[in-house]
Amino acid sequence: MNAPLEKSLIDTLKAPHFPIYMDYSATTPIDPRVADKMIPYLREQFGNPASRSHMYGWSAEKAVEDAREQVAKLVNADSREIIWTSGATEGNNLAIKGAANFYKTKGKHIITVKTEHKAVLDVVRELERQGFEATYLQPQDNGLITIEQLEAAIRPDTILISVMLVNNEIGVIQPIEEIGELCRQKGIIFHCDAAQATGKVVIDLEKWKVDLMTFTAHKTYGPKGVGALYVRRKPRVRLEAQMHGGGHERGLRSGTLPTHQIVGMGAAFEIAREEMDEEIVRIKALRDRLATGLQTIEEVYVNGDMAHRVPHNLNVSFNYVEGESLIMAIKDIAVSSGSACTSASLEPSYVLRALGRSDELAHSSIRFTIGRFTTEEDIDFTIELIKTKVAKLRELSPLWDMYKDGIDISTIQWAAH
Ligand SMILES: Cc1ncc(COP(=O)(O)O)c(C=O)c1O
Ligand code: FES
């Protein structure tokens, strides 16, 4: 027999033998209220929302349409502009490949940014292999791009610009509203990956001139494996479908809809809309407490702009500490190293490298992302743990000794082999 829902979901996060979860940007725990809403659609209300001839189908269809409203409402869009997907990776593929292929007779140039998620960068790379051309903008050292640099990169054959709202590693918020204005003025389709933004940033698609926006449920306390793509109706944006079949979702994304997942996403986005104002204040206070605590350690650097940043992210580099050793030493908390989220490789984060961070600092970075179930005790425990472990690792580091002796390490001539 399984443990009761509440216990298995939230108490697990707080169980003494489990690390404290501080990796909310990798994924969030599902909110128990969301899980409760999903269960009937896994049990008695199992119908196929496309079944038109009986009540099982009708009730599933109603649930799907209610969830579409809930998602649309969080981002101030019309529910007819929401297309269900399996998550943000699929949403980005559909938006970028779909728009590029639909509009390719107008031009074949795409602009994006070096610090985008791989689910954008790899799609653009694939299009390059198919004959499109791409410009990858270099952000400033705070992680943000400027409108001037974007404008300078636009060519007569530019058809698509893709810039994320919130960066997954450093949490910085790009100037999406201004980018939208520029794109509209130039007649260029604007796609924005907002996977990391829902519930953290107010999104207003009626006001913002964004044509395509990608969402996912599992970063906002919903289930994994479901997401949505916003496709603007006025002015209408056209896409070439990437999945062909039964013609679901107005022909843009065939496949039987996963009703329970969709219901979960709708419930999660509704909670986000109702609670985000208060939640942002609470979480920001915790994040700032963490930042203040960690900044009492010597040679600590915050990565990314602190003013234009989501409230739950803190990404810091500990100079003279090897990131992987630190992660091993702090097993009592669950965090990501700067690079861990894109692959299992030990390469320094390409995002931090694009910001101009040295390999050493990029290697010694840790991303703390907190959330709905984080407490003040979690934060205080983390600060003490990090302080102790960083001091211990530095004790063993010859580079730290040299730094303390006032030797400028960058001037040392290392022997060549
Ligand atoms: C910015 C960003 N885009 C896209 C994705 C991929 O989302 P999904 O896991 O829903 O495919 C992620 C998740 O890691 C992300 O952080
Ligand atoms: S946060 Fe998305 S891959 Fe790490």
Distance in Å, CA 122 to ligand 2 centroid: 14
| % helix, strand, coil for the chain, step of 5 | 40, 15, 45
- Asked whether the predicted pLDDT for residue 414 surpasses 70, the reply is no
- The answer to whether 119 is annotated as binding is no
CB 287 within 8 A of CB 22: no
Average confidence score pLDDT of the chain: 93
From 3.40.50.1970, 3.40.640.10, 3.30.360.10, 3.30.390.30, which CATH number describes the 32-271 domain? 3.40.640.10
Q: Starting at the edge strand that comes first in sequence, how are the strands of the sheet with 82-85 ordered?
A: 82-85, 227-231, 212-216, 189-193, 158-162, 109-113, 133-137
d(CA 318, CA 362): 9
If you ran DSSP here, which 8-state letter would residue 399 be given? H
d(CA 257, CA 84): 8
d(CA 121, CA 272): 28
Distance in Å, CA 185 to ligand 2 centroid: 32
pLDDT at 344: 53
Catalytic one of 201, 341, 352, 393 = 341
- Asked whether the predicted pLDDT for residue 2 surpasses 50, the reply is no
pLDDT in tens, 150-187: 999 999 999 999 999 999 999 999 999 999 999 999 99
How would you class 349 by CB atoms within 10 Å of its CB: exposed for 0-12, middle for 13-18, buried for 19 or more?
A: buried
118 CA: nearest ligand 2 atom: 3
Evaluate: CB of 180 within 6 angstroms of ligand 1.
no
pLDDT at 4: 52
Give the start-to-end residue ranges of the domains of the chain.
5-29+276-393, 32-271
Tokens of 390: 């960083």
Helix (H, G, I), strand (E, B) or coil at 268: helix
Sign of torsion over alpha carbons 359, 360, 364, 367? negative
From 3.40.50.300, 3.30.720.210, 3.20.20.70, 3.90.1150.10, which CATH number describes the 5-29+276-393 domain? 3.90.1150.10
d(CA 236, CA 243): 20
Q: Is 341 a catalytic residue?
A: yes
Give the ipTM of the model, two decimals please: 0.90
8-12, 93-97, 223-227, 388-392: least confidently modelled range: 8-12
- The answer to whether 85 is annotated as binding is no
pLDDT in tens, 257-282: 999 999 999 999 999 999 999 999 99
The residue among 261, 160, 162 whose CA lies nearest residue 216 is: 261
pLDDT in tens, 18-54: 899 999 999 999 999 999 999 999 999 999 999 999 9
CB 284 within 8 A of CB 200: no
pTM across the whole model:
0.94
pLDDT in tens, 276-290: 999 999 999 999 999
Q: Bridge-partner residues for 172, per DSSP?
A: 309
* Region 309-318 average pLDDT: 96
CB 103 within 8 A of CB 92: no
Confidence band for 1, pLDDT divided at 50, 70 and 90:
very low
CB 80 within 8 A of CB 205: no
pLDDT in tens, 346-401: 677 889 889 888 888 888 899 999 999 999 999 999 999 999 999 999 998 888 98
Q: At residue 248, what are phi and psi to the nearest 5 degrees?
A: -65, 165
How would you class 315 by CB atoms within 10 Å of its CB: exposed for 0-12, middle for 13-18, buried for 19 or more?
A: buried
Distance in Å, CA 48 to ligand 2 centroid: 32
Q: Bridge-partner residues for 161, per DSSP?
A: 111, 190
Crossing angle of the two packed helices 259-294 and 55-74, in degrees rounded to 10: 30
Tokens of 410: 């960058």
pLDDT at 17: 74
Q: Beta 20-21 vs 313-318: how paired, if at all?
A: unpaired
Confidence band for 302, pLDDT divided at 50, 70 and 90:
very high
pLDDT in tens, 202-226: 999 999 999 999 999 999 999 999 9
